[in-house]
Amino acid sequence: MKKIFLISLIIGIIVFIGIIYAEIKLSQNISDKVPEKSKTSNIMQKDREASIEALYEDKLNQYKEELKKNPKDGKIYNKIGLLYAKNGLYEKALKMFEESLKLNEQIGVYANIGNIYAMLEKYDIAIKKYESALTLKSADKNKADIYYNLGMVYYNKGEFGKTKEMMKKAVELNEGYREKLASLEKEIGSKDITKADKKVIKDFKWME
């Protein structure tokens, strides 16, 4: 009986060790694969950033020189942010816009931050940034551009009633948006107001 018990015990221990070993190997395989994919993605992103920065090296150096002379000029950070944003480097652009806001609270910078989140399809955050921008004093043209951006964000969310509301406000401040409003009203008029199966608009107005 003792022998049978000991044999059973040994077999049980061997099976248990085998299971633990298999789980460890599986865990290692998973951890090996995921970072590799992430690492490749990071390398590609860094290569892209390096290419764009090389392409605009003169312009970036010019802005850096301007910052040395005027380190508290938020508008320079905004210009750098715009350069990055228009080339799809949204993370770097966002950092520059946030630096700009620390120095000068400007309607255009809030709007540009809103655009970054809109481009990333984080629409609720974008709306909050645009609304913050509208609380600041500014020229009608700037506010018209922000209402336009809000209209496009609401369009992307499928909230067509809000799209028309924002676009009408844009037209009140800038007649140049009337044609765009008419085009959207024509398109929206043929859809159910809650329907969201439409193209994603990323034609937002950036502010210098």
- CATH code where residue 167 lies: 1.25.40
* Residue 73, domain member (yes or no): yes
CA–CA separation, 180 and 170 (whole Å): 10
For 76-85, the pLDDT digits (tens) are 999 999 999 9
Could you tell me the residue range of the domain that residue 57 belongs to? 47-104
Indicate whether 208 and 131 sit together in one domain. Answer: yes
**Tokens standing for residue 84:** 């990055």
Indicate whether 71 and 128 sit together in one domain. Answer: no
CA 48 to chain CA centroid, nearest Å: 17
Indicate whether 97 and 129 sit together in one domain. Answer: no
Identify the pLDDT of residue 40.
59
Last residue of a domain, one of 57, 72, 104: 104
Indicate whether 131 and 167 sit together in one domain. Answer: yes
Residues 6+ apart with CB under 8 A from 57: none
* Residue 99, domain member (yes or no): yes
* Residue 41, domain member (yes or no): no
Indicate whether 133 and 162 sit together in one domain. Answer: yes
**Tokens standing for residue 79:** 């210009």
**Tokens standing for residue 3:** 């022998």
Identify the pLDDT of residue 63.
93
Identify the pLDDT of residue 10.
58
Identify the pLDDT of residue 28.
46
**Tokens standing for residue 122:** 């984080």
* Residue 25, domain member (yes or no): no
Identify the pLDDT of residue 121.
94
* Residue 193, domain member (yes or no): yes
Q: Report the domain count for the chain.
A: 2
* Residue 162, domain member (yes or no): yes
Indicate whether 132 and 90 sit together in one domain. Answer: no
* Residue 87, domain member (yes or no): yes
Indicate whether 127 and 100 sit together in one domain. Answer: no
* Residue 24, domain member (yes or no): no
Indicate whether 133 and 173 sit together in one domain. Answer: yes
Which one-letter amino acid corresponds to residue 187?
E
**Which regions in the chain score pLDDT beneath 50?**
15-16, 19-35, 196
CA–CA separation, 82 and 77 (whole Å): 9
Assessment of whether the complete model's pTM goes beyond 0.75: no
Identify the pLDDT of residue 31.
41
Indicate whether 99 and 130 sit together in one domain. Answer: no
Indicate whether 145 and 91 sit together in one domain. Answer: no
Identify the pLDDT of residue 202.
82
Indicate whether 197 and 148 sit together in one domain. Answer: yes
Q: Are 157 and 131 in contact (CB under 8 A)?
A: no
Indicate whether 92 and 151 sit together in one domain. Answer: no
